[in-house]
């Protein structure tokens, strides 16, 4: 199986390093602007050059802007696209454009489970009768630095858990693109961006990133919580997020079946 990767930041590098030991999976190209100083894989400058390497799957690891810039072209080309920046789909215009491109070209838009478990169960609950989904994201102050949280709360002065935003998933995903991709995954699997409630918490005692949600409806109730260590190169990212990409790729290559 041939994959191409967009982005050579913390997640892109981690993903490529994990797949290096898989002889049945070849990373045929990396699209990164600016070009990285050192990369063991072929580096290209634009999406046409990326697609010319004939990948079976493109993995976006470069942020919301990259999905906006390259997503439509990849899907219209007929190539499947695995998306890290799920939060970008909170932009309804972008979501519509990508779905139309997928329908027109045949490429599939793939959403990984990311840092959260229970996504399959949540999708099943939607079919069985889902009435409410409430998500809570809890992270240490360092994980919120460089985000809009700095304008809402003085992160260096927080001494106890503090909820700094309580809103619907669309606002959370668009306001915190580096932190709230898991919010978008829950919204897409469940009730959608406008009916999923979100609370984001800064907690100086948090060890890693804590994701939890409760879903209720005619089917009953789902309650899940995950305490994940963070990626060493980026405290905003739960380490399960890139491993979710690895698992998705291995499933598609036939290396694992469940």
CA 50 to CA 78: how far, in whole Å? 13
Clarify whether 77 is annotated catalytic: no
CA 205 to CA 61: how far, in whole Å? 29
Q: Are 203 and 161 in contact (CB under 8 A)?
A: yes
DSSP state of 186: H
Single out the residue of 55, 8, 14, 4 nearest to residue 34, CA to CA. Answer: 8
Q: Are 64 and 88 in contact (CB under 8 A)?
A: yes
DSSP string, 56-84: SEEEE-S-HHHHHHHHHHHHHTT-EEEES
| DSSP H stretches of helix in the chain | 10-19, 47-51, 64-76, 92-105, 119-129, 141-144, 169-175, 181-189, 240-253
Per DSSP, what are the bridge partners of residue 202?
139, 162
Active-site residue numbers? 211
């Amino acid at each position: 199986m041939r994959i191409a990767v967009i982005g050579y930041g913390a997640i892109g590098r981690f993903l490529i390093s994990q797949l290096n030991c898989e002889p049945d999976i070849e990373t045929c190209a990396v699209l990164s602007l600016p070009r990285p100083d050192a990369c063991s894989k072929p580096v290209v400058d634009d999406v046409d050059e990326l697609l010319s390497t004939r990948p079976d799957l493109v993995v976006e690891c470069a942020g919301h802007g990259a999905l906006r810039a390259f997503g439509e072209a990849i899907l219209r080309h007929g190539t499947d696209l695995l998306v890290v920046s799920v939060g970008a789909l909170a932009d309804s215009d972008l979501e519509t454009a990508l779905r139309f491109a997928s329908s027109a070209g045949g490429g599939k838009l793939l959403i990984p489970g990311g840092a959260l478990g229970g996504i399959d169960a949540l999708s099943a609950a939607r079919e069985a009768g889902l009435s409410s989904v409430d998500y809570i994201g809890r992270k240490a102050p360092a994980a919120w630095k460089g985000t809009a949280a700095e304008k809402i709360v003085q992160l260096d002065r927080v001494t106890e858990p503090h909820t700094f935003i309580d809103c619907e998933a669309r606002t959370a995903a668009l306001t915190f693109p580096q932190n709230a991709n898991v919010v978008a995954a829950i919204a897409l699997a469940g009730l959608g961006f406008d009916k999923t409630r979100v609370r984001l918490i800064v907690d100086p005692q948090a060890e890693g990133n804590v994701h939890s949600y409760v879903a209720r409806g005619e089917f009953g109730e789902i309650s899940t919580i995950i305490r994940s260590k963070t990626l060493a190169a980026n405290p905003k990212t739960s380490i399960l997020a890139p491993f979710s990409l690895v698992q998705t790729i291995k499933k598609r290559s036939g290396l694992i079946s469940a």
